[in-house]
Chain A
Amino acid sequence: MTEGCSETDMWKYSSTLMDHFMNPRNSGQLPDPDGRSEVGSDQCGDAMTLDIQVDDRDRIVDIRFMTFGCAGAIAAASALTELARGRTLEEALTITNDQIIEYLGGMPEEKYHCSVMGHEALEGAIGDFRKKRERVRRHLEQVLENMPAQLKEDLGGEVPAVVNVHPSRVTLRSSAGDGDAAESLGRLLEGKVGRRVEVTLLR
């Protein structure tokens, strides 16, 4: 048993940390995240989910968390989302536990471990995003290699170049082709990936 007030008083939380605990930023879940992770500590039972939405330039444009944990864990997750939002995936991965703690205006030493979970969750969500993207890229290559003759003809007789791949949309460039061709490619891709992937054709 943690015996009441005295113990909680011991965690001399900073006012910034308490603000993030009382008013967590970016809490919740995204309806259709580009990357999601669920992490937890079996030992103390803390757990967290992290959703990210990533634009075509690998930038985190939206991020949401849910946390089961103490005030320190909730504040650390909130701080992490603030630090990661707007950054590229590579930049976000360089965020350290120390930065989270500094952002919160310090944290009692015995609570440092609370910030570790957020970092793990971020790595997990980015990993999930990349895995999904790789999967779309793999299927896209297969689709492009095995295009029906008519579709290939519509696209000027050549395989379109891949401009950008994202878990939910791909951008291609070809000398010919229209919205119908893009739609056909999208359907073929959906058949492989198992969910809607939007295809944009640039000329």
Chain B
Amino acid sequence: MKAYLDNNATTRMAPEVLEAMMPFLTGKYGNPSSFHSFGSEVMDAVERARESVAALIGAERDEIFFTSGGTESDNTALRGACAINPLRPGLVVTDVEHPAVLRTAEMMESEGTPVRFAPSLKDGSLDLDTLFGMITEEVGLVSVMTANNETGAVYPVREIAEVARSRGVLVHTDAVQAAGKIVIDVGDTGVDLLSLSAHKFHGPKGVGVLFVRRGLQLPPLITGGHQEGGMRAGTYNAAGIAGMGKAAELAQEHLSGGPEHMMELSSRLERGILDSCPGSRVVAADVSRLPNTVTVLFRGVESEAVMTLLDMEGICVSSGSACSTGESSPSHVLTAMGIGPRDAGTAIRFSLSRYTAGSEVDCLLEVLPGMIDKLRKISPYAD
């Protein structure tokens, strides 16, 4: 592999993270829930990790609950928050959420939960007027992602939370894609629930967090033992949790140093593509975006064909659609922005990390224009 530009899919694990995990994959195999000190010293590591994650998002220790990842956190938040107040069973989500939220909302709707899907605007921002209009008396939870995984658009979670809270409605945000890239502060945004996933910020896969504001008690999604104060049953993933704690510490260090390096690289990448590939345009170009995400529509050139060529060069990216079964549909996010299937099918997402090297961006810019040109020459949609 020559260039890994798919960091919104997953990131490389930081070496320090592996180091923090190793003891719990080897000698320190005790069960954190055990009474003996062989187990309780592992619990100490779990609690230290809890503190590190809390610090990353401006939360308190006892507001952090470990899960198996972002998807479980989202499921727990949506199902839990809609269950606790029978007078307010309703749910409002946006139509650009990650499938972990969107599919769950659809599933809940089929089970009888009143669900409303707030629309997006063409520029990639949310239609806030419509969204606010949906927050009625029967609604118990509003879920709006902090940043979009496909376009990188950052949504005004604080503004939405303010309106929702003033109407007595709980607020959840899926911050999986934002963590480690922009500062997240639950005190500032005022959300009640927030999902994180470790592997999106150089931690291990299979571990995540649900922040639950103090005083809010949600029913567990996974029942069993009394771990996590009864919020989430199941033996602690000690190594994963320790890794996530270390990843959170590193992310905070990185953020306090400023994301200039990442921003400089992604704007170099963006400019380089726009300059060398005529007919290309950046999605959500005019709204606030994550410093690491650039999604480009290459008019007339189907994205999977580009990905295949890039893959042969050892360059990893993602596309806005998957043409796999014949019933494949273009990205719901791009569709929500009013981008038709023909253009949505040309979307390539480039996503960087703090580890991305300038040489990786150069490597892409060296081969991409030729590929686009080659495919455009045999495309009926090139003009």
Q: Which residues of A contact B (CB under 8 A)?
A: 1-5, 7-9, 11, 13, 21, 24, 27-28, 38, 41-49, 65-71, 73-74, 110-114, 116
- A71 and B341: CB pair below 8 A? no
Q: In the bound complex, do residue A5 and residue B316 qualify as a contact, i.e. CB atoms below 8 Å apart?
A: yes
Q: Determine the chain A residues whose CB is within 8 A of the CB of B344 once the complex forms.
A: 45
Bound complex: CA of A3 vs CA of B300, how far in Å? Answer: 21
For the complex, give the distance between the alpha carbons of A23 and B379 in Å: 14
Q: Are B378 and A74 in contact (CB under 8 A)?
A: yes
- The answer to whether B307 touches A8 (Cβ under 8 A) is yes
In the complex with contacts A43-B327, A43-B329, A8-B308 CB distance below 8 A = yes
A69-B318 in contact (CB<8A): no
Contacts of A24 in B (CB 8 A): 378
Q: Check B380 against A48 for contact (C-beta < 8 Å).
A: yes
**Are B9 and A3 in touch, CB under 8 angstroms?**
yes
**From residue A41, how far is it (CB to closest CB) to chain B in Å?**
8
B324 contacts A by Cβ under 8 Å: yes
Query: Chain B interface mostly helix, strand, loop or mixed?
Result: loop
B327 touches A2 (CB 8 A): no
Q: Residues of B contacting A27 with CB < 8 Å?
A: 377-378
Task: Give, as a whole number of angstroms, the nearest-CB distance from B174 to chain A.
Answer: 15
Contact of B304 with A by CB under 8 A? yes
A-binding residues in B (CB < 8 A) = 1, 6, 8-10, 149-150, 300-302, 304-305, 307-308, 311, 316-331, 341-342, 344-345, 349, 377-381
A44's contact among B316, B341, B349, by CB below 8 Å, is which? B341
* Contact B378–A4 (Cβ < 8 Å): no
Q: Which of A2, A44, A67 contacts B379 (CB 8 A)?
A: A67
| A75 CB to nearest B CB, Å | 10
A74 touches B318 (CB 8 A): no
Residues from chain B with a CB closer than 8 A to the CB of A116 are 326
Chain B residues whose CB sits within 8 angstroms of the CB of A70 once the complex forms: 302, 304-305, 308, 323
Q: How far is the CB of B176 from chain A (nearest CB, A)?
A: 13
Instruction: Say whether A28 contacts B378, CB under 8 Å.
Output: yes
Some 24 contacts from A to B, beta carbons below 8 A apart, are A1-B9, A1-B150, A1-B319, A1-B331, A2-B318, A2-B319, A3-B10, A3-B318, A4-B9, A4-B307, A4-B316, A4-B318, A7-B307, A7-B322, A8-B304, A13-B308, A27-B377, A27-B378, A38-B380, A44-B328, A44-B330, A46-B345, A73-B323, A113-B326
Cβ of A42 to closest chain B Cβ, rounded Å: 7
